[in-house]
C-alpha cells in the first residue's frame, strides 16, 4: 500500500508532532510505501532513514487556492491508497481515503489581532467549514487528547468512534544549559511560546503585578520571537510602568533548558489548548508547573501541576504565590512532573497511528 503523509507543517508550530511520527514510523513499518510531502524549502532538511520512505516537494501553501487545485492534482497523480493530513487544511475535493489529525479547535474560536480583522474573519469562517468537511469526510480522525475528541465530535457532528486519541510526548533538551546573564541568581517565573490572545498573557502580566507587591525581587520572563503581538504586550507593560517583565525574544534550546531548570515555576495561563506540550516539556526539565485548568490541561498534567482559573487574575496570582513561596510544594510538583511526563511516548503515538492506518486500509 502507498501512504502519503502531508508534512508541510514540519517546521511550523505542530512540526514536532509530524517529525516524531515520521521518525518512529520508519522504525516500525517496513511493509508500506510512504511518500512524505514537504515544502521545497524543507526538502533537504529531512532525510529518510528507511528505504520505503521517499520525499516529494509540495509547493502548495496551506490554506490557499493553490492548495485546493495544485495539491489535489498532485495527489491524483500519486494515486495513494491513503493520505494522512497532519492538519485540517487539505483539498476539499479530494475523495480518496484520508486520515486527518485535528490538534484543536482554537483557531476556529479565537482571533489574531495582528491580522486584518475583516480578512481574518472571512478566512476563519472558511477554516471552520474546512474543519467540519475534514472531520466528516476522513475515514478516521486523530486527536491528541480526550478533550479534543469530544470537542471535535460535538463541533463537527461526527461519531466519536471514528476519532482516535494518540497522546503526544515531550523529550529532554539535549543542548547544554546556557544561562541568561540578566537572570543569574535572580528569582523568576516564566512562560515560553506564542503570544496569541488565547495564551492569556495579559492576565498573567496583571497577576505578576499583584505578586510584585509581596515578592518585590521577582521577575517574569516571557520568551519567544518578538512578533507584533509580543510588541503590543511590551508596549502595554511599559505604559503601565510594570517593572521586571523580561521579553527575551527568540531563545536557543540551551537557553530554554536553563530557564526551565532555574525558574521558580513555569506558568501556563492558556484559555485553550489541544495538548499543552510546553508544560510537559517544562516537567521533563524539572520545572514546577502552575497551569490554567482550562480545556485539556488537567487531563494531560494530572496531579503534577497546580491549577488556577485562567479568567481570575487573583486566583492565578494566589496559586503562583503558593507554589513559589513553598520549597516543599515546589519539590512535590517537580517530582510529580517527572513521573507524569514519563507516561507519554512518541513511539507509542506512532504505533497507535499505524494501527489507524491499517484499520482504514482494511
What confidence tens digit (pLDDT) does each residue in 240-278 have?
Answer: 999 999 999 999 999 999 999 999 999 999 999 999 999
Q: How many residues does this entry show for the chain?
A: 362
pLDDT in tens, 181-200: 999 999 999 999 989 999 99
**Whether the predicted pLDDT of 14 surpasses 90:** no
Query: Which of 140-154, 218-232, 331-345 comes out lowest in average pLDDT?
Result: 218-232
CA 74 to chain CA mean position, Å: 28
Burial (CB count within 10 angstroms: exposed 0-12, middle 13-18, buried 19+), residue 122: exposed
pLDDT of residue 112: 82
CATH 3.40.50.2000 range(s) for the chain read 2-169+345-361, 181-341
**H helices within 193-342, ranges in order?**
201-211, 228-239, 253-262, 277-284, 297-301, 313-324, 327-341
- The CATH class given to the 181-341 domain equals alpha beta
**Whether the predicted pLDDT of 114 surpasses 80:** no
Of 320, 315, 285, 327, the residue nearest 305 (C-alpha)? 320
**Whether the predicted pLDDT of 13 surpasses 80:** no
Half-sphere exposure of 199 (CA within 13 A, CB side): 19
**Whether the predicted pLDDT of 98 surpasses 80:** yes
pLDDT of residue 280: 97
Of 152, 26, 33, 21, the residue nearest 88 (C-alpha)? 152
Contact 234, 258 (CB under 8 A): no
pLDDT of residue 111: 84
pLDDT of residue 141: 98
pLDDT of residue 116: 81
Q: What percent of the chain has pLDDT over 90?
A: 92
pLDDT of residue 63: 87
C-alpha cell at 157: 457532528
Predicted confidence band of residue 294 (pLDDT cuts 50, 70, 90): very high
pLDDT of residue 137: 97
**Whether the predicted pLDDT of 239 surpasses 90:** yes
- Find the mean pLDDT for residues 75-101: 97
pLDDT of residue 69: 97
CATH of region 2-169+345-361: 3.40.50.2000
pLDDT of residue 41: 96
pLDDT of residue 119: 86
Q: What is the mean pLDDT of the chain?
A: 96
pLDDT in tens, 19-29: 999 999 999 99
Output the CA–CA distances (angstroms, integers) from residue 122 to 108, 111, 229, 272, 331, in the order listed.
11, 11, 21, 22, 48
Output the CA–CA distances (angstroms, integers) from residue 11 to 16, 18, 41, 214, in the order listed.
8, 9, 10, 42
Q: What's the pTM value of the predicted model, to 2 decimals?
A: 0.95
C-alpha cell at 45: 532538511
Residue for cell digits 482550562? 294
pLDDT of residue 120: 84
Output the CA–CA distances (angstroms, integers) from residue 172 to 253, 283, 341, in the order listed.
10, 10, 10
Of 153, 154, 170, 171, the residue nearest 162 (C-alpha)? 153
pLDDT of residue 117: 86
Amino acid at each position: 500500500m502507498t501512504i502519503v503523509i502531508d508534512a508541510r507543517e514540519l517546521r511550523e508550530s505542530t512540526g514536532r508532532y509530524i517529525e516524531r511520527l515520521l521518525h518512529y514510523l520508519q522504525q516500525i513499518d517496513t511493509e508500506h510505501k510512504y511518500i512524505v510531502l514537504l515544502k521545497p524549502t524543507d526538502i533537504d532538511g529531512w532525510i529518510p532513514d528507511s528505504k520505503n520512505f521517499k520525499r516529494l516537494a509540495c509547493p502548495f501553501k496551506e490554506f490557499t487556492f493553490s492548495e485546493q487545485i495544485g495539491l489535489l492534482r498532485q495527489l491524483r497523480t500519486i494515486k495513494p491508497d491513503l493520505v494522512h493530513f497532519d492538519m485540517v487544511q487539505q483539498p476539499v475535493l479530494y475523495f480518496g481515503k484520508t486520515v486527518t489529525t485535528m490538534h484543536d479547535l482554537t483557531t476556529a474560536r479565537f482571533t489574531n489581532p495582528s491580522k486584518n480583522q475583516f480578512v481574518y474573519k472571512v478566512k476563519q469562517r472558511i477554516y471552520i467549514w474546512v474543519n467540519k468537511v475534514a472531520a466528516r469526510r476522513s475515514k478516521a480522525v486523530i486527536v491528541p487528547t480526550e478533550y479534543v475528541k469530544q470537542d471535535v465530535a460535538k463541533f463537527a457532528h461526527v461519531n466519536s468512534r471514528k476519532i482516535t486519541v494518540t497522546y503526544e510526548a515531550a523529550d529532554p533538551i539535549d543542548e547544554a544549559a546556557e544561562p541568561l546573564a540578566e537572570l543569574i541568581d535572580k528569582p523568576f517565573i516564566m512562560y515560553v511560546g506564542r503570544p496569541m490572545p488565547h495564551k492569556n498573557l495579559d492576565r498573567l502580566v496583571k497577576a505578576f503585578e499583584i505578586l510584585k507587591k509581596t515578592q518585590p525581587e521577582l521577575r517574569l520572563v516571557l520568551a519567544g520571537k518578538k512578533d507584533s503581538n509580543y510588541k503590543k504586550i511590551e508596549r502595554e507593560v511599559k505604559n503601565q510602568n510594570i517593572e521586571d517583565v523580561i521579553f527575551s525574544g527568540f531563545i536557543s534550546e540551551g537557553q530554554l533548558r536553563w530557564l526551565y531548570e532555574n525558574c521558580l515555576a513555569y506558568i501556563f495561563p492558556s484559555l485553550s489548548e489541544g495538548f499543552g506540550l510546553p508544560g510537559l516539556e517544562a516537567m521533563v526539565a524539572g520545572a514546577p508547573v502552575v497551569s490554567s485548568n482550562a480545556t485539556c490541561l488537567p487531563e494531560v498534567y494530572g496531579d503534577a501541576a497546580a491549577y488556577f482559573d485562567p479568567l481570575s487574575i487573583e486566583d492565578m496570582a494566589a496559586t503562583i504565590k503558593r507554589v513559589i513561596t513553598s520549597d516543599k510544594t515546589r519539590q512535590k510538583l517537580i517530582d510529580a512532573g517527572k513521573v507524569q511526563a514519563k507516561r507519554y511516548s512518541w513511539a507509542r503515538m506512532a504505533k497507535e497511528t499505524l494501527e489507524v492506518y491499517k484499520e482504514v486500509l482494511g
